[in-house]
């Protein structure tokens, strides 16, 4: 073989390698060594469910080579977690952090100096309805009973929620009150570190009602220990079709909770692409949709620039809403 032939072979091999590199997704260059998901609340709530359900599906589908660890980091409706991620986990390509509207309210209310601009908003993976729940033997039989009690005396009903005052679960009750002509600032709202704790308070008789999300209530609903007075929606849940909505009971108020994740600042483009691709595959998988349907989550998703624009606009609208409801100046 001549030197010219050898040179041609080397050149062709180099060209083939370059073509292969261009054809290979950027995410293929990255794989997490120790994948982790931070749930910014105690076990049992919506953020915890995001992490544990995703980790379970990743394992079932073989999407990750290593098991994903779940770390609970409660405090300030997401404020503690985002501060930790920004100050201590910058550039951690293996890390996902559960997020929802609750963090948006934390930001809008100024309970954290951070915003989504300080991290990497990655994806919305589902949505679910919030609602009002009472113990099975509660004197409140429907939404009308609850509204009547609030109109007679706004402080006569205590509500448990899984987020801080002025945050998501509190806002649900405040929106209900405002819609029916009751002063939202007169309500009795008892905050807990996640929906799991709020449910415990309700079951223990420490509050009259709980304002939490459907997934957080589903186990006790199915066990017959609690009842749903209303989901804050125009149409019924795709799974729990027997649960009434606010709209069908004449109260025109709704509130969807999105479920999603963000990444730490300083993460590499390859890692962002990997996790985005992996999450897109996850939400399309039968394993995920089986779990999502069990939770009563709706199949609403957003990724990349669409999700970034969504949370930015949401932040601005929540700041205006908090002022309107009297929870911010």
pLDDT digits (tens, 9 = 90+) for 28-75: 589 999 999 999 998 888 899 999 999 999 999 999 999 999 999 999
Provide the domain limits for residue 38: 34-128+257-324
Report the domain count for the chain.
2
Q: What is the mean pLDDT of residues 239-261?
A: 94
Residue 301 within a domain: yes
217 in Cβ contact with 211 (< 8 Å): no
CA–CA dist 244, 145 (Å, integer):
14
Q: How confident is the model at residue 6 (pLDDT cuts 50, 70, 90)?
A: very low
Last residue of a domain, one of 227, 256, 285: 256
109 in Cβ contact with 251 (< 8 Å): no
Query: What are 190's strand-pairing partners?
Result: 160
* Averaged pLDDT of the chain: 89
214 in Cβ contact with 298 (< 8 Å): no
CA–CA dist 296, 267 (Å, integer):
32
If you ran DSSP here, which 8-state letter would residue 303 be given?
E
Same domain, 247 and 162: yes
User: How many Cβ atoms are within 10 Å of 44's Cβ, its own excluded?
Assistant: 22
Q: Which residues of 178-198 are buried (b: 16+ CB within 10 A; e: fewer)?
A: bebebebeebebbbbbbbbbb
CA–CA dist 291, 65 (Å, integer):
21
327 in Cβ contact with 166 (< 8 Å): yes
The DSSP line for 124-141 is EEEEEEEEEEEETT-S--
Residue 239 within a domain: yes
Q: Residue 154's domain is classified under what CATH number?
A: 3.40.190.10
Which of 217, 211, 198 is closest to 297 using CA atoms? 217
The predicted structure's pLDDT at residue 19: 44
């Amino acid at each position: 073989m001549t030197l010219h032939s050898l040179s041609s072979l080397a050149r062709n091999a180099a060209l083939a390698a370059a073509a292969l590199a261009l054809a290979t997704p950027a995410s293929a260059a990255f794989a997490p060594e120790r994948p982790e998901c931070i749930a910014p609340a105690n076990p049992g709530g919506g953020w915890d469910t995001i992490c544990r359900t995703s980790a379970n599906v990743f394992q079932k589908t073989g999407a990750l080579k290593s098991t994903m660890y779940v770390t609970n980091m409660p405090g300030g409706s997401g404020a503690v977690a985002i501060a930790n991620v920004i100050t201590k986990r910058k550039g951690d390509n293996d890390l996902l952090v559960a997020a929802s509207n609750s963090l948006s309210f934390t930001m809008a209310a100024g309970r954290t100096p951070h915003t989504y601009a300080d991290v990497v908003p990655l994806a919305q993976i589902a949505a679910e309805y919030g609602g009002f729940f009472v113990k099975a033997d509660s004197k409140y039989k429907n939404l009308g009973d609850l509204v009547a009690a609030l109109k007679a005396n706004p402080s006569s009903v205590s509500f448990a929620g899984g987020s801080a005052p002025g945050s998501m679960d509190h806002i649900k009750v405040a929106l209900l009150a405002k819609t029916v002509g009751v002063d939202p600032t007169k309500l009795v709202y008892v905050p807990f570190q996640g929906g799991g704790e709020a449910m415990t308070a309700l079951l223990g008789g420490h509050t009259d009602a709980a304002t939490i999300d459907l997934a957080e209530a589903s186990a006790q609903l199915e066990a017959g220990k609690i009842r749903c007075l209303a989901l804050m929606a125009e149409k019924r849940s795709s799974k729990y079709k027997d649960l009434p909505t606010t709209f069908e009971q004449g109260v025109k108020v709704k509130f969807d909770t999105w479920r999603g994740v963000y990444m730490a600042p300083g993460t590499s483009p390859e890692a962002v692409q990997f996790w985005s691709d992996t999450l897109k595959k996850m939400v399309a998988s039968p394993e995920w949709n089986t779990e999502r349907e069990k939770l009563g989550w709706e199949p609403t998703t957003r990724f990349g620039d669409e999700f970034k624009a969504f949370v930015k606009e949401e932040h601005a609208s929540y700041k205006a809403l908090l002022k309107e409801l009297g929870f911010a100046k």
